[in-house]
């Protein structure tokens, strides 16, 4: 391949899902991988290079837009970016409310904006949201806050009278992840004007290092109940999430944009219809 025709795959976040996605995406692409953790980044880059793949590894703080913008432009200069998969994020067991909004809301929006600037015909962006965003109904957020999370400029995204990032709030993570879905929905038309697509995936209870912390933590009992009541009755795997991500950046999903794919083993559908069945039998 010449530089002009080199297919570039970008993966941000090298945790359980990011590492698996990188290996799935590597064939036929030059990979550009970024993470805040230099140790995690080095491990994944080495693994890919040992497998014969061409990889560029970059330390990246997604909260810093200028850094994300520079990374995106550098990757775009190496060839045609056909896939961007953003998996980086923090959960309530890893960070406090302010940090969750900084990384999961602002950081996500920074990545969307930076890669929109370099998107072109055939680029497909996939961001990782969360099943938890469905456990927090959109109706609980005012229309004004929903619009703000979806469309606010980056420099004011975390400034809103209904968004308190200083006070600890166990709902900060699902609100942030709902914001990711709304942001992608709102961005789809602009991405489409470039011949590009943008979607999210909302994983359910997944057996990853971060997921294991949640599974064994204070939310573990509730998570087990969700799994036991679902259609699949088990936790998902990183490979299953990776399969959805690879599908969304591939040729079989070219009419899919501005939407979210739940990879939750049927948890959300079961919650709804189990509640309906219980109400009907009472």
Query: pLDDT, tens digit, for every residue of 90-112?
Result: 988 788 999 999 999 999 999 99
pLDDT of residue 93: 79
Whether the predicted pLDDT of 53 surpasses 60: yes
Mean pLDDT of the 199-210 span: 92
What is the full DSSP assignment across 150-187?
HH--GGGTT-BTTB-SSS--TTHHHHHHHHHHHHHHHH
Whether the predicted pLDDT of 184 surpasses 90: yes
**For residue 70, what is the domain's CATH number?**
3.40.50.720
Per-residue pLDDT tens over the stretch 65-74: 999 999 999 9
pLDDT band at 77 (very low <50, low <70, confident <90, very high): very high
Mean pLDDT of the 177-201 span: 99
From residue 54, alpha-carbon distances to 6, 31, 189 in Å are 11, 6, 33
pLDDT band at 1 (very low <50, low <70, confident <90, very high): very low
pLDDT of residue 276: 58
Residues 6+ apart with CB under 8 A from 124: 82, 83, 84, 196, 197, 198, 199, 248, 249, 250, 253
The number of domains in the chain is 1
Per-residue pLDDT tens over the stretch 117-137: 999 999 999 999 999 999 887
Mean pLDDT of the 256-279 span: 88
Residues 6+ apart with CB under 8 A from 225: none
What predicted TM-score, i.e. pTM, was given to this entire model?
A: 0.93
Would you say how long the chain is, in residues?
Answer: 282
Domain that holds residue 197: 3-281
């Amino acid at each position: 391949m010449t530089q002009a025709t080199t297919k570039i795959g970008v993966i941000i976040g090298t945790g359980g899902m990011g590492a698996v996605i990188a290996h799935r995406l590597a064939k036929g692409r030059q990979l550009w991988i970024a993470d805040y953790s230099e140790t995690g980044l080095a491990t994944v880059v080495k693994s890919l290079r040992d497998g014969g793949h061409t990889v560029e590894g970059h330390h990246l703080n997604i909260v810093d837009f200028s850094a994300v913008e520079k990374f995106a432009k550098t990757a775009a200069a190496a060839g045609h970016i056909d896939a961007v998969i953003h998996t980086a994020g923090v959960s309530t067991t890893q960070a406090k409310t302010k940090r969750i909004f900084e990384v999961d809301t602002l950081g996500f929006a920074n990545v969307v904006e930076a890669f929109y600037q370099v998107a072109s015909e055939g680029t497909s962006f996939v961001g990782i949201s969360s099943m938890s965003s469905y456990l927090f109904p959109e109706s609980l957020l005012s229309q004004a806050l929903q619009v703000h999370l979806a469309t606010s400029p980056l420099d004011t995204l975390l400034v809103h009278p209904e968004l308190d990032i200083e006070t600890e709030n166990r709902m900060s993570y699902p609100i942030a992840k709902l914001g990711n879905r709304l942001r992608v929905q709102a961005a789809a038309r602009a991405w489409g004007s470039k011949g590009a697509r943008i979607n999210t995936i909302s994983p359910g209870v997944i057996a990853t290092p971060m997921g294991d912390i949640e599974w064994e933590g204070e939310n573990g009992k509730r998570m087990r109940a969700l799994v036991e009541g679902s259609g699949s009755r088990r936790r998902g795997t990183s490979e299953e999430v990776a399969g959805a991500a690879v599908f969304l950046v591939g040729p079989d999903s070219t009419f899919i944009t501005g939407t979210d794919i739940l990879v939750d083993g049927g948890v959300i559908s079961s919650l709804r219809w189990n509640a309906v069945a219980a109400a009907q039998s009472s």
